Structures are given as structure tokens and as C-alpha cells.
A and B are shown apart, each in its own frame.
Chain A
């Protein structure tokens, strides 16, 4: 059973690289007058500087299977360091990635050493924590919902602020939705919006959901 659970956790990230069908297409956007100006409420949703977050992570596969692990994410500019541990603290996986450079995996206990796992994990971490890259355009959807849209090649990321200070984020690949990140129960720490709960849903037939509950958020001092 344990093996199946952790294999499922692997699948969560491996499947993220699979092609899926029946996904939602990119909605149209009505640009605002100052469409290239991103509101602070959206910018504050992405931590800047040095941070460390610890989450308890529960995952559920559409095909069955669930599990819990602890996730540690350290952000330092364009560098991401992340680790997965068991609830008891044994390190399952640890890696760092500096944007534009190969992922450096410092520890990967089997089956977390499977090809594609590190890439899938880091991609989801970036989707959740790092401000999207590309050209930006802010405006409204046809139903009036405000959003800002980042476009980079065939990748589109929409960030839709919510009235409670949290946000929903949708990513699209090749014109179809690939990820939805929904944040809830947000507070502000050091001018950064910190959600207590984060739900990530991968769309499509091979979909999965990942629920992250905040254990700690810590702004780290600037590196010397």
C-alpha cells in the first residue's frame, strides 16, 4: 500500500508531462486601458526575495490513491530549492533549480529518482510560487472577471484576483488549460499574500489534484 501511495505521488508529477484531452480553451480577454500595468494585488501574490515555505501535501488521483508528505520550498530570486520528506522527516527528494540551468537533484530515493519527476515537481512549484514570465496584458474576461495574462511562446498564464485577496491561476499549453491553482484563506506577510491552502488541479483524463496546507512561511534575510 505504501509503495502504491508513493508511486501515485510519482505519477502526480510524471503525468503532468503527459498530453491530456478535453481541456478548457483559452478564454478571450478584453484589454484594459493600461493593460500592461499589473495591479499590486496580483504582484503581491508571488513572493519576491528569499522565502521558505513548508506545506503538508495531500494528493488525490482521479483513478484512486492518496497520500501525504511534507514539502519544503525555498525561493531565492530566480533560484528554487525544494524537498519532499515523509511526515516523519526522512528526505525523499531534494533538488535546486536556477532558471535557465539544469535541475540539480541532490537526493532522490527510489522511486523519486524516476525520469521526469524532478522536472514535473519543479514546474508545479514554479507555477505556484513564481511570477509568470512573458509579455503581460491585464483586462477582463467576457463575464467581467478581472485578470492579468502572461504569454510566453505557447504558454499562457492567467492570474485572476479574488475579492478575499487570494487568487486563481490558470495555465494553458497549446491553447488548452493544463493547470489550475486556487489559493484560499490568505494573509499578508511582508507585503506578500500568503495562502493557507493551495489546490492545484491538472486538467484532462490523466488529471490529479494536489492540496497543500501551509505549515510555515518564513521571509529569510537577504543573502550576504
Chain B
């Protein structure tokens, strides 16, 4: 399950990293903020499970990923540490299952992405479906049993992601759609601390 958590963090950070490092090479983008809608589609469910939230990413490694609905939770990454909070009984409580060890796994990948070295990704094979669509497929069979592929759709704005679709199998996929995207605005440090 730890690998699943790592994987999710990958998927969170990847579009942000791409935003900060457009395909043409590392650009001048250094921060991204946006709202997102996440739809989890399951064949057995008549309607998708919909989540709403917001995120802020500051290069090279500060992230606030916050779900506002249906369950309030916040993931914070900053200065090499990681914390996660989940709402319980009306209050945000720290999820102690989130270890700092995760960062040691993720940070080298972020660094690669920020340098535009997508082909060096040790987890996914990277292919360009078309000019605005990047397809990632897991290199390892174990991971492929969890995620069959990931599609990243670039937006009109240079380096900014429109959506990410995570295909978890023939009967399940999750799509994140980003709106109200703001780039290169200074983000206060405490955004990543609380």
C-alpha cells in the first residue's frame, strides 16, 4: 500500500512539475495554483464519485493538496517533510500513517521532471499521443496491476495542465480537471505549513 501512496503522490506532482517545466525545456514557471475537480469513475457505480479541492505548488518541492469535498483532507510537503491531515469529528487530525520516508522516494523524480528529463522517469514510460497529450505507462508489472496508464492533457497556456486521467483498469478511471489556474504568483510559505 505504501507504493500506492507513492504512486498517488507521483500523480499529484507530475502535472505540477510539468507545469513548472514545459516540454520544450525548463521554463520560467515556478509556481502553480489551481482548483480541481476529481471524478472517480467505476463501472459498478452509476455515477462517479466527485471530489473538489485546490492545490498550490511552489518549485522545487513545496505542495499543498487540499480536498474540500466530500472529505476535507490536506497533504503538505515542504522542506523535505510531509504531513497529511484528515477531517474527523469536525476537526482536522494528522494522519500518522504518512511518513517522511516518502519524500526520499519522490524528490529525485521531481528534480528530474523539473529538469525536463521525463524519459528518465524510472516508474513510467513516456509517450506523446499528440501535441497536447502525454501518455505514461508503468514500467513495472506490479504497478501496472494498479495503474494501466495515465494521460496528461496540456492546456492552451504554456506548461499548464488541463486534466490528468488515471486509468486504473478497464472498469475504473479517475480524472482530475484543473480550473482557475494561476502561475508564478508568490505563494506565502505558511500555505505549505498549515
Q: Which residues of A contact B (CB under 8 A)?
A: 1-7, 52, 54, 56, 58, 67-68, 70, 72, 74, 81, 83, 85-92, 94-96, 106-107, 109-111, 213, 215-216, 220
Given A1-B96, A52-B46, A68-B86: A89 touches B1 (CB 8 Å cut-off): no
Q: How far is the CA of A2 from the CA of B88 in the complex (A)?
A: 18
Q: Is B131 part of the binding interface, using a Cβ–Cβ cutoff of 8 Å?
A: no
**Is the CB–CB distance between A5 and B44 below 8 Å?**
no
Given A83-B44, A106-B43: A1 touches B97 (CB 8 Å cut-off): yes
Q: How far is the CB of A125 from chain B (nearest CB, A)?
A: 13
Return chain A residues, CB-CB under 8 Å to B96: 1
| Interface size bracket, B side | 35 or more
Q: How far is the CA of A72 from the CA of B41 in the complex (A)?
A: 12
Q: How far is the CA of A220 from the CA of B47 in the complex (A)?
A: 10
Q: How far is the CA of A15 from the CA of B56 in the complex (A)?
A: 41
Interface 0/1 of B45-81, CB less than 8 Å to A: 1110101000000000000000100110100000000
**Is the CB–CB distance between A91 and B42 below 8 Å?**
yes
Given A1-B97, A68-B86, A83-B44: A94 touches B171 (CB 8 Å cut-off): yes
User: Which among B43, B71, B98 has the greatest number of chain A C-beta atoms within 10 A?
Assistant: B71
Chain A interface SS verdict (over half): strand
CB < 8 Å: which of A58, A83, A86, A216 contacts B4? A86
Given A83-B45, A87-B73: A1 touches B99 (CB 8 Å cut-off): yes
**Is the CB–CB distance between B49 and A5 below 8 Å?**
no
A-B contact pairs, 22 of them (CB 8 A): A1-B97, A1-B98, A2-B99, A6-B1, A7-B1, A54-B70, A56-B71, A58-B88, A70-B70, A74-B46, A89-B38, A91-B174, A94-B42, A94-B44, A94-B172, A95-B44, A96-B44, A106-B172, A107-B169, A109-B145, A110-B145, A215-B71
Q: In the complex, what residue of chain B is closest to A5 when comparing beta carbons? A: B97
Given A2-B97, A89-B49: A111 touches B174 (CB 8 Å cut-off): no
Q: How far is the CB of B150 from chain A (nearest CB, A)?
A: 12
**Is the CB–CB distance between A67 and B97 below 8 Å?**
yes
**Is the CB–CB distance between A91 and B70 below 8 Å?**
no
**Is the CB–CB distance between A87 and B67 below 8 Å?**
yes
Return chain A residues, CB-CB under 8 Å to B31: none
Q: How far is the CA of A67 from the CA of B174 in the complex (A)?
A: 22
Q: How far is the CB of A196 from chain B (nearest CB, A)?
A: 11
Given A1-B99, A54-B70, A107-B171: A91 touches B40 (CB 8 Å cut-off): yes
Q: How far is the CB of A12 from chain B (nearest CB, A)?
A: 14
Given A1-B99, A3-B1, A81-B44: A72 touches B71 (CB 8 Å cut-off): no
Q: How far is the CB of A46 from chain B (nearest CB, A)?
A: 20
Q: How far is the CB of B149 from chain A (nearest CB, A)?
A: 15
Q: How far is the CB of A20 from chain B (nearest CB, A)?
A: 26
Return chain B residues, CB-CB under 8 Å to A213: 88
CB < 8 Å: which of A4, A56, A74, A90 contacts B168? A90
Q: Given known contacts A91-B172, A92-B4, A106-B42, what 5 new A-B pairs fall within 8 Å (CB)?
A: A1-B96, A52-B45, A52-B46, A70-B71, A87-B86
Q: How far is the CA of A85 from the CA of B49 in the complex (A)?
A: 10
Q: How far is the CB of B32 from chain A (nearest CB, A)?
A: 19
Q: Is B105 part of the binding interface, using a Cβ–Cβ cutoff of 8 Å?
A: no
